[in-house]
């Protein structure tokens, strides 16, 4: 019986093309570089064509390789769809490289991971938590497969699932508000110690622009790479902070934080699950849909007593 093309050979071909290197494809597929090289060589022998040129560690697809890559993707996508349709998700395996912001990590990420364990039990997750801008950079460089992060985005991408909007709120410890009679004007608020998300984030930039436009310079504003740290500093009376309302809801209920009645607010944080639809395996798209369900469920039950 003549040899046939295997799924593993097609996976090797697609991942080498996407990752641009045999060693990176091997890492992505959880195997060794010699195995990847062997699969590619066997595939080329079966097809009777050269799919890629290797030169000083780099990989360049041939004309045949570029044309056949589109068909290889369709085959792998169809296999994923077939397994999904059969309902036997234990057949689906792989590694999902996931990048999320701190806010996702502190809110509905645990629910998402539990849902993934049920829906796709043999898909391993490699998790990184970072600022939204850094996550987008990793996504565009293909260091991760899926990103849960917030707008604005520097570049469009062909795969996107809405994860909802997160309204913001000014909060402070009760004793901080007791020290002043009015925090409704821009001047009165700016005279307080303000704590924001880190430089380069949309939240920080909007706060700086707001006070600058009102004629108040930005000095004296403290920033942190962790919104959770902003919240904790506010609880300890170090200043007034602005965070997603859902992060502060528990502390507001217990009275360890109080709403600051300042009318201006930055735009709500708009989160999306983003991925390269054309290049992604079926389980990446499925994970994005699961994320949307978990995020919307969290938002619907945002009056949570948990501390962040």
Q: What is the pLDDT of residue 303?
A: 47
Does 1 have pLDDT greater than 70? no
pLDDT in tens, 151-175: 999 999 999 999 999 999 999 999 8
Q: What does pTM read for this prediction?
A: 0.80
Q: What is the pLDDT of residue 250?
A: 87
pLDDT in tens, 105-147: 988 999 999 999 999 999 999 999 999 999 999 999 888 999 9
* CATH for 89-164+270-300 (3.40.190.10, 2.20.25.90, 3.30.470.20, 3.40.640.10): 3.40.190.10
Q: What is the pLDDT of residue 146?
A: 97
Window from 86-95, 216-225, 291-300 with minimum mean pLDDT: 216-225
Mean pLDDT of the chain: 87
Does 92 have pLDDT greater than 90? no
Does 306 have pLDDT greater than 60? no
Q: What is the pLDDT of residue 182?
A: 58
The rounded distance, in Å, linking the Cα atoms of 135 and 223 is 19
Reduced 3-state DSSP string for the chain: CCCCCCHHHHHHHHHHHHHCCHHHHHHHHCCCHHHHHHHHHHHHHHHCCCCEEEECCEEEECHHHHHHHHHHHHHHHHHHHHHHHHCCHHHCCEEEEEEECHHHHHCCHHHHHHHHHHHCCCEEEEEEECCHHHHHHHHHCCCCCEEEEECCCCCCCCEEEEEEEECEEEEECHHHHHCCCCCCCHHHHHCCCEEEECCCCHHHHHHHHHHHHCCCCCCCEEEECCHHHHHHHHHCCCCEEEEEHHHHHHHHHHCCCEECCCCCCCCCEEEEEEECCCCCCHHHHHHHHHHHHHHHHHHHCCCCCCCC
Does 13 have pLDDT greater than 60? yes
Does 180 have pLDDT greater than 60? no
Q: What is the pLDDT of residue 179?
A: 58
Going by CATH, does the domain composed of 7-86 fall within 2.40.50.140?
A: no
pLDDT in tens, 53-86: 987 767 999 999 999 999 998 898 888 888 878 8
Fold match flag (89-164+270-300 vs 168-259): yes
Q: Which residue has the higher pLDDT, 107 or 183?
A: 107
State the average pLDDT over residues 226-243.
90
pLDDT in tens, 246-302: 888 889 999 999 998 888 899 999 999 999 988 888 889 999 999 999 999 988 886
Q: Where are the domains of the chain?
A: 7-86, 89-164+270-300, 168-259
Q: How confident is the model at residue 187 (pLDDT cuts 50, 70, 90)?
A: low
CATH number for region 168-259 = 3.40.190.290
């Amino acid at each position: 019986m003549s040899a046939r093309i295997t799924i593993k050979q097609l996976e090797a071909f697609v991942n080498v093309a996407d990752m641009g290197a045999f060693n990176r494809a091997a890492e992505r597929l959880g195997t060794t570089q010699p195995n990847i090289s062997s699969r590619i060589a066997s595939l080329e022998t079966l097809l009777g064509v050269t799919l890629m040129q290797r030169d000083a560690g780099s990989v360049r697809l041939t004309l045949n390789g570029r044309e056949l890559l589109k068909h290889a993707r369709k085959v792998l996508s169809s296999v994923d769809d077939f397994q999904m349709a059969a309902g036997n998700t234990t057949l689906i395996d792989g590694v999902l490289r996931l990048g999320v912001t701190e806010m996702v990590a502190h809110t509905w990420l645990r629910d998402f991971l539990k849902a993934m364990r049920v829906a796709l039990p043999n898909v391993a997750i490699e998790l990184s938590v970072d600022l939204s801008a850094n996550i987008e950079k990793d996504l565009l460089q293909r260091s991760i497969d899926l990103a849960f992060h917030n707008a604005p985005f520097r570049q469009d991408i062909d795969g996107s699932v809405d994860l909802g909007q997160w309204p913001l709120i000014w909060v402070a410890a009760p004793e901080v508000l007791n020290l002043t009679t009015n925090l409704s004007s821009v001047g009165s608020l700016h005279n307080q110690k303000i704590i924001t998300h880190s430089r380069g984030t949309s939240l920080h930039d909007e706060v700086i622009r707001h006070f600058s436009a009102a004629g108040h310079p930005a000095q004296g504003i403290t920033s942190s790479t962790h919104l959770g740290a902003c919240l904790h500093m506010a609880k300890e009376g170090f200043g007034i902070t602005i965070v997603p309302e859902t992060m502060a809801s528990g502390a507001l209920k217990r009275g360890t934080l109080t709403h600051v009645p300042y009318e201006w607010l930055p735009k709500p944080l708009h989160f999306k699950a983003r991925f390269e639809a054309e290049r992604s395996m079926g389980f990446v798209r499925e994970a994005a849909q699961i994320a949307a369900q978990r995020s919307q469920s969290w938002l619907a039950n945002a009056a949570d007593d948990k501390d962040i």
